[in-house]
């Protein structure tokens, strides 16, 4: 709290004490049988002046702004402490409890795009965390991103059983351009909603959206750093390094020309690895690096054991993607899908489906059972390719939104197809 706000509070206290003292003196003077006109007048004057001064301090723009700033800063600080680990049901419930006393609303709710995350106030028992979003006004705001002021239960979309709440404000929550949920304030009657309440609701939603975006950016920064280090370690691990060097050394005796080509590509591969520290790069660069990695695996296992085919739909060559997005999938296929005998064919395709861009990595190897598929899709392993798969899934959502995801189709003996769905990437042109 600032010294100025301390001073204002002290002044308010002194004026209240003076007004109370004057009021007591006035009552005493009026109650005496032989009342003193001078004492009555003095007490009345002191009471009036103290009360007027107190009202002035209360309504003084600087004092009001100071109190509002103090309240907003405290709210911002406490809200940030709840969202720093992400917007969960627990944090949303805590934030609703924090915001309710700061407004004239009778209930406050926070939703994501599907369910209620937090609800505090009247009708709380009917709106538990995890309940699906039901009101039509909320669905409309999630669709178009517009703030809605609702003046009847019918406009809100409440069922007839809700009697005490008949007005509301629904404000979208954003993460960048993506609508991730809503902040809602419900009131007893429409007359409770004024410009102050609307501005407060929109301001709090903007504050919460900014904090959600800031936390997400920090998480993505940490995730990108972790992914880069894991990918780098995966590529410079002793097995890959020694296998490649041994392969090139053997070729210097049997095929010197090819050994020179591989040695040159090996140098380019690691230089590109160190250069690819940017979060995003053109998909063609990512695929070039993947093909360069595959060149060393072909040299090691032989052209009769491995093949790679890459195709990009026209117009998608400059689409930006996170670095190390495709190579881990191809590497995973080489490590785990190759049969004991015969050829492993891998196909990488980049194409559009509506506004989405799909990156498909398909192999005709030994395939996976349902348990292995679940492990790849649900939880990263402690080490190895599971870390890469987990990072790919998380970064897809971070860069392309909640609709971006990884799909895996596989069964024993029939091969595996991994599809990365880059939501909205074709429509944006770039991320």
- pLDDT tens digits, residue range 416-427? 999 999 988 876
Query: Is the model more confident about 131 or about 43?
Result: 131
Three-class SS state of 367: coil
Q: Which residue has the higher pLDDT, 218 or 159?
A: 159
**Band of pLDDT at residue 77, cut at 50, 70 and 90:** low
Q: How far apart are CA 171 and CA 149, in angstroms?
A: 9
409 CB contacts (<8 Å, ≥6 apart)? 416, 417, 419
Question: Tens digits of per-residue pLDDT, 248-307?
Answer: 888 888 888 888 888 888 777 776 766 655 567 899 999 998 999 899 899 989 999 999
Q: Express each pLDDT in 135-194 by its tens digit.
A: 889 999 999 999 999 999 888 888 888 888 989 999 999 887 789 999 999 999 898 898
Q: CA 313, CA 353: separation in Å to the nearest integer?
A: 11
Q: What are phi and psi of 346, to 5 degrees?
A: -120, 135
Q: How far apart are CA 166 and CA 399, in angstroms?
A: 39
Instruction: Work out the average pLDDT over 302-320.
Output: 93
**pLDDT above 50 (res 63):** no
CA distance linking residue 246 with residue 235, whole number of Å? 16
Measured between its terminal Cα atoms, the distance across the chain in Å is 42
> What single-letter DSSP state applies at residue 170?
E
Q: How far apart are CA 177 and CA 377, in angstroms?
A: 27
Query: Using CB atoms within 10 A of its CB, is residue 67 exposed (0-12), middle (13-18) or buried (19+)?
Result: middle
Instruction: Please report the pLDDT score of residue 82 as a whole number.
Output: 76
Lowest mean pLDDT among 39-53, 132-146, 286-300, 331-345: 39-53
- Which pLDDT belongs to residue 47? 57
- Per-residue pLDDT, 312: 96
- Is pLDDT above 70 for 402? yes
Assessment of whether the complete model's pTM goes beyond 0.85: no
Is the C-alpha dihedral spanning 24, 25, 28, 31 positive or negative? negative
pLDDT given for residue 323 in this prediction:
82
């Amino acid at each position: 709290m600032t010294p100025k706000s301390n001073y204002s509070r002290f002044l308010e206290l002194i004026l209240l004490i003076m007004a109370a003292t004057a009021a007591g003196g006035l009552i005493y003077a009026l109650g005496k049988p032989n009342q003193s006109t001078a004492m009555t007048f003095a007490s009345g004057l002191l009471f009036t002046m103290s009360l007027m001064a107190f009202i002035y301090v209360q309504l003084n723009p600087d004092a009001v702004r100071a109190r509002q700033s103090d309240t907003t800063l405290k709210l911002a600080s406490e809200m940030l402490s709840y969202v720093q680990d992400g917007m969960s049901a627990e944090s949303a419930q805590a934030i609703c409890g924090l915001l309710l006393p700061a407004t004239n609303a009778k209930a406050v709710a926070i939703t994501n795009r599907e369910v209620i995350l937090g609800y505090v106030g009247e009708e709380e028992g009917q709106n538990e965390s995890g309940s699906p979003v039901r009101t039509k006004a909320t669905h409309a705001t999630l669709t178009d991103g517009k703030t809605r002021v609702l003046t009847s239960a019918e406009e809100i979309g409440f069922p007839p059983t809700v009697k005490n709440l008949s007005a509301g404000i629904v404000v979208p929550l954003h993460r960048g351009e993506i609508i991730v949920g809503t902040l809602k304030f419900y009131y007893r009657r429409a007359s409770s909603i004024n410009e102050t309440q609307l501005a407060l609701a929109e301001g709090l939603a903007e504050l919460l959206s900014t904090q959600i975006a800031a936390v997400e950016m920090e998480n993505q920064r940490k995730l990108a750093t972790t992914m880069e280090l894991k990918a780098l370690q995966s590529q410079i691990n002793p097995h890959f390094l020694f296998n490649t060097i041994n392969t090139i050394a053997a070729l210097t005796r049997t095929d010197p020309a090819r050994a020179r080509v591989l040695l040159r590509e090996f140098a380019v591969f690691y230089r590109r690895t160190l250069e690819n520290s940017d979060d995003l790069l053109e998909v063609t660069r990512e695929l070039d690096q993947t093909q360069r990695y595959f060149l060393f695996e072909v040299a090691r296992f032989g052209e009769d054991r491995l093949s790679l085919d890459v195709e990009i739909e026209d117009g998608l060559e400059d689409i930006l993607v996170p670095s190390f997005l495709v190579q881990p999938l191809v590497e995973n296929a080489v490590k785990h899908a190759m049969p004991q005998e015969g050829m492993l064919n891998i196909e990488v395709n980049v194409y559009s489906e509506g506004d989405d861009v799909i990156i498909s990595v398909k192999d005709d190897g030994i395939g996976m059972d349902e348990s292995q598929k679940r492990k790849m899709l649900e939880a990263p392993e402690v080490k190895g390719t599971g870390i890469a798969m987990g990072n790919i899934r998380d970064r897809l959502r971070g860069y392309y939104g909640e609709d971006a995801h990884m799909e895996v189709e596989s069964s024993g003996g029939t091969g595996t197809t991994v599809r990365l769905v880059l939501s909205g990437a074709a429509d944006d042109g770039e991320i």
